[in-house]
Structure 1
Amino acid sequence: MDCDRQVSPKENHSVLEIAHSYLLNSVAVKANEIDSNPDTLMQALQGLRDLGLLALRVPHNWGGKEVSEETFSDFQELVARYSGALAFLQTQHQSAAAMLAASSNSVLKQEYLPRIGKGELLVGVGFSQLRRGGEPLTLAKLVPGGYQLDGVVPWVTGWGMFDDFIVAATLPDGRAVFGVVPFQDTYQNSTSKITFTSPTELAAMTSTNTVTANLNSYFLPQERVVSIKPVGWIHENDKNNVLRATFLATGCAFAGLDIIESALKTKSLPAIANALTAFQQELNHCRTAIRRLQKNTHAQLLEKLQLRSWAIDLATRIAHAAVTVSSGAANYLHHPAQRVYREALVFTVTGQTSAVMEATLERLSRRWGSDECVDAPSSASRRVECEEWGGQRGENSFLCSPSKTITYSRVIHLSHVIDTNIPQWQGDPAVEFETVAEIEKDGYYLRRFCLGEHSATHVNAPKSFYNSGAGIDQYPAKSLIIPAVVINIQQQVAINPDYSLTVADILVWEKQHGEISPGNLVLLYTGWQEKWCDRTAFMNQDAQGNMHFPGFGSDATEFLLNERQIAGVGIDTHGVDSGQDTNFTTNNLVLAKPRIVLENLTNLDQLPPKGTTLVIGILRLRDGSGSPAGVMALI
């Protein structure tokens, strides 16, 4: 890439405008034919070529567009919206062009990139076999002047459309050599050749002419080598680019929405309108989360996988809804809903790795095994769901972390010991213990205890502020094991006990530790935990009875909920709202989602800024407004 030249937003916007106009007017009307007819697909591909849209990842100095990663993602989404087959095919070429642009082989670049930039040459790729375990399917051996290639490339798309393709083969030491070979039967001599099968019959995108390549002692000259990648390169590359394929899925989701919207115009059913609105909102949430994570250089693989699986799940559900609103007509082979449904199938497995498969299966099967009791209230207003990071289906969806293996070296109690003299909010029930059985008399020791639902270290439930809110008994188990970050405002509080966390504080923290990832619970360490043993100092009331202690500012809370999609908040004071906030703003904002609110925590000074997992133990009190909690930190 030409790092000295910056691509302007205007240039990127122009590319997308040109693409959208072409796709809407020339591709959408032929989408079904493009899906099944290779000639029509090739015409659509040539249309992109003529507009310079097949050189988006080629540098300017080689005649390409060199668009930003964000613009390329938008382009991928646009093409997938109007034709899955065209999106899939052009992706192969754009990937090959990017690999050539990154090559250190200047002779090869000089030969290919200007012609790709002018649209004179189309190139495919054939290296998905590197992802497979076991013995390599394609082998390379160093010979004088180049490499000898043997084996099978089971999946190469674009037969009869692409001139050449980049093949990959595994060397004896585990590295992979990538080189350009002709995409046609080629015989170098009686024993050295590359041949191709007939196009495979596929359930979707049959027009893409996907074939298998057979390499028999094929000689790859050194001057045709694109690159040699280290052992395990394909897996690292997949991890780094796990979000790229999400835009094909979200484009497919848009295609499904177009069908649903069209059906609404003719059927005018409230159920269709409601479904359309719900899907549109969820798709917007999904795309926003993907965009945010795409820009986050500190994003973890698990977070990327979660969003990838969400996009896949969303595309398949919307495609299924498109079939539903199309009724029996969707069973016709060339009906748009039938095509989009099959495209969703393809984009489910495009570039699939074991990790993507696991995340997708976890997403698709997440509803089974809910811990909701069979005798729990069944009204819609009381039903609570568990939605994983980045997802928000409705007002009563808790945010849950995906299943994963947690490793840790330390466990720290974040809950205070409960005693009769702990600090209490005015009006809360007193903490009482009464001995009801003694070892000497009864053979065992037992006490009865009494305390309020918001006493000691505790969780606030939505029901504490909303009549129709969920009770503490409705929290899904998965919502109570969550990652956490810690923001330290101890210095600010030492100067001003009424201090409230600001958005600026959050951004300062993120500059040092990276953007707060979706699904994290934000813990606010104020130093107030040190006052726990002094009831007067902890509540800090003035002569008028007003309390003075720090908390979350309303702007900061809204920022964390809307821009960072956090799972909840926690603090070492008696309230996430500062003592001066008698409207309980943060409680109301967080519990409306609903998310988790933890108060009266301790030992927050022992936690790192990030990398902690919280395990929150609650008492499942029927219709409880909250519960005393045993909170442990795994570090």
Structure 2
Amino acid sequence: MTIPPHPLVTAARRLAADVLAPRAERVDQDGMPASSVEAVKRSGLLGIAAPVAYGGSAAPAAVVRETAEILAGACCSTWFVQTQHHTPVTTLAKCDLPVRERLLGPLARGELLSGVAYAQLRAHPRVPVRVTRERGGWRFDGRIPWYTGWGLNDVMLLAGVTDADEALFAFTEAREQPGLRPSPPMRLAALTASRTVSLELDGLWLPEDAVALRTPYASWAVTDRPKNTNASPAVFGVTAAAIGLLEDDPSAKETAGALRARLDAVRRQAYDLADHPVPTELIEERLACKTRAYDVMRAATTAAVVAGGGRAMDVRSPAQRLAREGMFLLVQGQTAQVRAAHLGSLGSPGPLSR
């Protein structure tokens, strides 16, 4: 008996087919329209991991991964903007501070879209953003090199390090305000539509009731470091989309079949590792699987370009867009540990050179 897909998987497929995929080339070149953001908000997907009591779905991890694959394969820019939202939601779901009651419901129901500004914490012991006590609240100073969704998000989850070496996360409106100044949107090789900027913080003051998490940096890092050792569902989504282009080309069907088998194998292993009950274990295996996922993505997107021939050099070509999106995913969420593992894999002799 065939088990019907989870309702959120069905919603993701509908959103991808009706809105994201038909607009993907235009979004890539011209930017993301507000109507795409509104469609994501209406889809129910922004509450996929949120508690049911707050309007979310508390969906299983397998459903979260499948919907991410679908969105990334349809329009990686839209996937990237909305994926930022899920960290603020899970942060609020785990906290018992006043900000939870104020924001978790609107975020879970898709009434608000949130971005994140915390990757700079991974530069520790360097402190790009310093947080100090001031007037019963917290003052933020420093520079955030990457913030995605500027002009699309309603709120942001901002992080810095206190003088007591704590990681402190707090919410604020995602707009220019005293002490917070954005750069112009960056022109990127891929995902320019995600409206990524840098943020200058010069005395941004947030009240105590904006704080969602305050914990020793070392404790936060223990849980953060293993996350990026797992392969991203977006990698599998872009890979599958590239293979789909090959499957539509009679001259590339054999290549598509071989790549589909490789994708299925590495995807299965990656999700088995992601479901391991101890996220700090099997790190070497996770990194090796992640680099294999990159290998399959690179092969699939390259094959799509090769099959497309000269047409693939047109910036409006789906094959070229997927190749550029794949390049972006090679460095998205990259840590020193992931970079070292990937470079080591790329530098290893291949089967033809042994």
> Normalising by the residue count of structure 1, what TM-score does the alignment of the two structures yield?
0.53
Which residue, 183, 191, 194 being the options, matches 2:180? 194
Q: Deviations over 1:138-173 (max 9, x none)?
A: 001123412111011111111111111011111123
What is the 5 A alignment of 1:103-114? 103-105=95-97, 107-114=98-105
The residue aligned with 1:92 is: 84
Instruction: Give distance in 1, aligned partners of 2:142 and 2:151.
Output: 21
- Counterpart secondary structure, 1:232: helix
- Counterpart secondary structure, 1:352: coil
Paired positions, count: 351
The residue aligned with 2:155 is: 164
How much has 1:213 moved relative to structure 2?
1.1
Instruction: Give distance in 2, aligned partners of 1:244 and 1:50.
Output: 29
The residue aligned with 2:291 is: 309
Name stretches of at least 5 consecutive residues in structure 1 with no aligned partner.
1-9, 188-192, 373-635
**Does the CA-based 8 Å contact 1:85-1:205 persist in structure 2?**
yes
Instruction: Give distance in 1, aligned partners of 2:261 and 2:322.
Output: 20
Instruction: Give distance in 2, aligned partners of 1:238 and 1:156.
Output: 18
Which residue, 344, 355, 378 being the options, matches 2:337? 355
Query: CA 1:238–1:370 in structure 2 vs 1: closer, same or farther (change >3 Å)?
Result: farther
Q: Deviations over 1:16-64 (max 9, x none)?
A: 0121122123221111112233343x32232121121111121100011
Instruction: Give distance in 2, aligned partners of 1:329 and 1:213.
Output: 38
Q: Deviations over 1:176-210 (max 9, x none)?
A: 111012211112xxxxx211111111111111111
Instruction: Give distance in 2, aligned partners of 1:48 and 1:11.
Output: 22
How much has 1:244 moved relative to structure 2?
5.3
- Is 1:29 the counterpart of 2:15? The answer is no
Structure having the higher Rg: 1
How much has 1:234 moved relative to structure 2?
5.3
- Is 1:115 the counterpart of 2:111? The answer is no
Name stretches of at least 5 consecutive residues in structure 2 with no aligned partner.
none
Q: Deviations over 1:487-538 (max 9, x none)?
A: xxxxxxxxxxxxxxxxxxxxxxxxxxxxxxxxxxxxxxxxxxxxxxxxxxxx
Query: CA 1:273–1:369 in structure 2 vs 1: closer, same or farther (change >3 Å)?
Result: closer
The residue aligned with 1:207 is: 193
**Does the CA-based 8 Å contact 2:231-2:270 persist in structure 1?**
no
The residue aligned with 1:240 is: 226
Q: Deviations over 1:198-245 (max 9, x none)?
A: 111111111111111111111121100010132235543343323555
How much has 1:350 moved relative to structure 2?
1.1
User: Whose RCO is larger (CA < 8 A, sep 6+)?
Assistant: 2
- Counterpart secondary structure, 1:286: helix
How much has 1:89 moved relative to structure 2?
0.6
Instruction: Give distance in 2, aligned partners of 1:365 and 1:318.
Output: 20
Query: CA 1:342–1:293 in structure 2 vs 1: closer, same or farther (change >3 Å)?
Result: same
Instruction: Give distance in 2, aligned partners of 1:194 and 1:333.
Output: 35
- Counterpart secondary structure, 1:186: coil
**Does the CA-based 8 Å contact 1:245-1:351 persist in structure 2?**
no
Instruction: Give distance in 2, aligned partners of 1:132 and 1:283.
Output: 33
Name the structure with the higher helix share: 2
Which residue, 253, 258, 274 being the options, matches 1:278? 258
- Counterpart secondary structure, 2:59: coil
**Does the CA-based 8 Å contact 1:198-1:211 persist in structure 2?**
yes
- Is 1:124 the counterpart of 2:115? The answer is yes
- Counterpart secondary structure, 1:121: coil
Q: 132-141 or 283-292: which moved more? A: 132-141
Instruction: Give distance in 1, aligned partners of 2:104 and 2:274.
Output: 27
Query: CA 1:56–1:308 in structure 2 vs 1: closer, same or farther (change >3 Å)?
Result: same
> Normalising by the residue count of structure 2, what TM-score does the alignment of the two structures yield?
0.93
- Counterpart secondary structure, 1:25: helix
- Is 1:149 the counterpart of 2:129? The answer is no
- Counterpart secondary structure, 1:67: coil
Structure 1 residue identity aligned to 2:89: A
Instruction: Give distance in 2, aligned partners of 1:338 and 1:160.
Output: 27
Instruction: Give distance in 1, aligned partners of 2:53 and 2:129.
Output: 34
**Does the CA-based 8 Å contact 1:245-1:350 persist in structure 2?**
no
